[in-house]
Amino acid sequence: MKQAADAGPCGPILVVDDDPTTVRALAQVLRTEGYEVLEAFDGPSALELCREHEPSMIVLDYMMPGMDGETVLAMLRAELDDRAPPAVLVTPGGAAQRRASRLGAVVGLEKPFVVEELLGVIASHLAAVSRGEVN
């Protein structure tokens, strides 16, 4: 079962986290599910990849040194406006969903999260986009 097939045609998914192990693990899971994946380990790299590749979605760590996830989202929205990709915000602590809502992310997931939950969020959102239900 490849969830990417259910989502229709989509661009790459950008995984952003300052922990290389986390990025590589998530990227491998997403690739196994049939998604094209881009990897970034900090905010500036994430911004550059968004400019160059226009990902369909971002899986974004909230707490990163230098430029945190909140700043990345704000800069993307300021620069790309309605072309800014939707984000799944991943954050430690109990405020994941509240932070995600405040920042306009699709959903907030609390670390550690269940991979199947992340895959479900991605597949559901991309499928809704392909059906024209959300931008």
d(CA 92, CA 124): 23
pLDDT of residue 6: 47
Domains and CATH numbers, the chain: 3-125 (3.40.50.2300)
CB of 100 closer than 8 Å to CB of 108: yes
> pTM of the full predicted structure?
0.87
d(CA 117, CA 122): 9
Cis peptide bond N-terminal to 92, omega within 30: no
pLDDT of residue 36: 96
pLDDT tens, the chain, 135 aa long: 344 544 445 789 999 999 999 999 999 999 999 999 999 999 999 999 999 999 999 999 999 999 999 899 999 989 988 888 999 988 876 676 777 887 788 888 888 888 999 999 999 988 888 888 875
